[in-house]
Structure 1
Amino acid sequence: MAKKIKSMGGRSFKKSAPKKSGNMNKLLQQAQQAQQSMEKEMEEMEAGLVNKEIEATSGGGVVKVIVTGDLRVKDIQISDELEDEGMDIIKDMIIAATNEALEKAKNYKDEESEKISEKYLGGFEGMGLGL
């Protein structure tokens, strides 16, 4: 005895066949697996940044700064050609090379993160999820 109610658009409350929730569950499982894989790959990339060396120079190569991918200064090399230069000039060259090396390291990290994100999230663009 299914009673129709006017405010519900004349629909009855009969039990209907279950909708295709299997596709949604499968999609959610795939999304969770992709998220876990992406997180693992991001962690591995982050750990690998310690060993990635990026260098920059200033003063035509007389000052070289080497930083790691995790934004730590590893080495500063100053050519003997600068022994007669003033300390202010040397400091300026060190600062310039350090800032450039850190910027390169940051860009490297951002590019690697973007590659990983695109690998896992690129397939969701056409699904209307706003990613």
Structure 2
Amino acid sequence: MIQLRLVLLLLFLVFPQLQGVEAATPETLGNVSSSITSSFTSLARLITAISYIGGLAFTIVAIMKFKQHKDNPTQVPIGQAISQVCIAVVLLFLPSLLGYIGGTLFGSDARTSGPTGQIYCSDTSAVYSADSCGK
């Protein structure tokens, strides 16, 4: 019984529409799609932030592993510290590296559609809302 009450409480907290609270704007397909689009933008920023934070965390752990290896080389192999440094480098440079990799693989005319429908061109840092890429 307690579990059922807890599940219902969580449902009402996550979905306030179930309580009968009406939204200020009517739910149309356009409103729903713009809400989803804005949540994708937030999700992309969240993934970027997690990448940076994870890279910093792996950097700190790698420094600690290097010190542990210096203090007791038989118990802590150097490979652990080196692998954590590699993971830290990948996570720290992943957000900026994706644009360069796209330009390398697909040329300077590579275009990526962002979560809001805007076009990101690999040859410039400008953002365009059409398929022109500044041409």
The answer to whether the superposition gives a TM-score over 0.5 is: no
Structure-1-length-normalised TM-score: 0.30
Relative contact order (C-alpha < 8 Å, sep 6+): which is higher?
Answer: 1
| Larger Rg computed on CA atoms | 1
Normalised TM-score (structure 2) = 0.29
Structure with greater proportional helix content? 2
